[in-house]
Amino acid sequence: MIDRISGVRTCAVVAFASKMALLAAICSPAAAADASPWDGGPRAAVRLIAASSSQTAPGGALPAGIEIRLGTGWKTYWRYAGDSGVPPRFRFDRSENVRDVAVLFPAPHGFNDESGESIGYKGEVILPLRVTPRDAAKPVLLRLDIDYAICSNLCIPVTGKAELQLPGDGEKDAALAASEARVPKPVALGADGALSIRVIRREDGGAHPRMIVDVAAPPDAKVALFAEGPTPDWALPIPSPVAGAPAGQQRFTFDLDGLPPGASAKGATLRLTAVTETTAIEVTTVLE
């Protein structure tokens, strides 16, 4: 009888411990995984994803990403949203053992609809992250707070939260690598390559100075060009393709319009991003 009671008690203890372990695994925010739960709904949702430690960057930065999933017909915005969008804002201050987080943006698309010109993404997008720990020997718990906008026939502000322990176990390595491959690569003006910004020049005489940009690209490549000012309050128009480029190149123009009050174009640094289906580059130039 004593042995039977002892066995029952032992089974009860084991069952209770198993349930508690399962509950802890479900509830613990630091449980190892490749992705956090989605936060959002059918229009838009966001989560964090992590790469494995084998993908750790030089200097010890851990690769991760913000994955945004959009419903059919909805779009969200790039780091510069154009004249009718709002770029996302990120906070990571609730994270544990995190010194710095760098957010990267894959090559975007340009949109022109009844709401105006904008720059961003549809469908799904992964924004790669480089997460630098304070102490590389200790666990990293990344916590994200994000404010972003989504637009279809109407525009809606959205907030999201996510948290995830880094690194992951490798399931998201390929997806993160593919997204990072679409991040525009900084190159010099006139640098050799299948895609190259060859000429940037300014023409005066109109209501606003006009910039002319010649881009070398493969003959059948569909090129998009985007222009950013030195600060987020510069609202430059999206460059438009025009005729007149040299052979093997495509020409774009845009007016130096949308400068913040009191700002001068002289001495300002512009960033130009050229995008094709397979390649994306960016060039910085200082206006004279």
Residues 197 and 175 in one domain: no
Residue 267 belongs to what domain range?
186-286
As given in the structure block, the two tokens for residue 217 are: 């690209």
- Banded model confidence at residue 1, pLDDT cuts 50, 70, 90: very low
Q: How many residues comprise the chain?
A: 288
The string of DSSP letters for 54-115 reads GGPPTTSPEEEEEEEEE-TT-EEEEEEEETT----EEE-TT-BSEEEEEE-----EEEEETT
Residues 213 and 262 in one domain: yes
Residue 57 maps to a domain: yes
- Banded model confidence at residue 33, pLDDT cuts 50, 70, 90: confident
Q: Is the pLDDT of residue 76 over 90?
A: yes
Per-residue burial over 15-31, b = 16 or more CB atoms within 10 Å of its CB, e = otherwise: eeeeeeeeeeeeeeeee
Last residue of a domain, one of 183, 204, 237: 183
> pLDDT value at position 243?
96
Residue 25 maps to a domain: no
Cα pseudo-dihedral 248, 253, 256, 260, rounded to 10: -90
Residues 194 and 230 in one domain: yes
Measured in degrees and rounded to the nearest 5, phi and psi for residue 55 equal -95, 5
Spatial contact of 152 and 17, defined as CB atoms under 8 Å apart: no
Measured in degrees and rounded to the nearest 5, phi and psi for residue 282 equal -140, 145
Residues 177 and 263 in one domain: no
Terminal-residue alpha carbon distance, the chain: 96
Q: pLDDT above 90 covers what percent of the chain?
A: 78
Can you give the pTM of this predicted structure? 0.86
Spatial contact of 225 and 194, defined as CB atoms under 8 Å apart: no
Mean pLDDT of the chain: 89
Residues 109 and 208 in one domain: no
Residues 55 and 156 in one domain: yes
Domain count, the chain: 2
Last residue of a domain, one of 183, 216, 233: 183
Q: Is the pLDDT of residue 189 over 50?
A: yes
Residues 136 and 120 in one domain: yes
Last residue of a domain, one of 183, 199, 221: 183
Residue 253 maps to a domain: yes
Residues 164 and 190 in one domain: no
Predicted confidence (pLDDT) per residue in 133-157, tens digit: 999 999 999 999 999 999 998 999 9
The CATH number linked to 140 is: 2.60.40.1250
